[in-house]
Amino acid sequence: MKNYMKFTQYAYLLVGVLMLIYGIVELNAAEKDAYLILGFGVAAIGLFFFRRKFAKKFEDRNKNQ
């Protein structure tokens, strides 16, 4: 389970970066959905930091028990 949590947080980072790159390409092509894609990219990167913080709290709590 611990490896799964570490993998998913980096998956969020990878998806976020890819969506930001794709959003910038779509923005340069003047597509309507570019801002939506950029928003999802920013949200995915935010989820990476949230998951990392939550995993660290969970790990520290298990160490203290």
Please tell me what DSSP assigns to residue 31.
-
Quick one: pLDDT at residue 2? 64
Quick one: pLDDT at residue 1? 56
Quick one: pLDDT at residue 16? 94
pTM here is 0.78
| 42 and 3 Cβ atoms separated by less than 8 Å | no
Rounded Cα distance between 6 and 24, Å, is: 28
Please tell me what DSSP assigns to residue 32.
T
Residue that is written with structure tokens 């611990």 in the block: 2
Rounded Cα distance between 65 and 51, Å, is: 21
Each residue of 35-53: pLDDT tens digit?
A: 999 999 999 999 999 988 8
Quick one: pLDDT at residue 6? 75
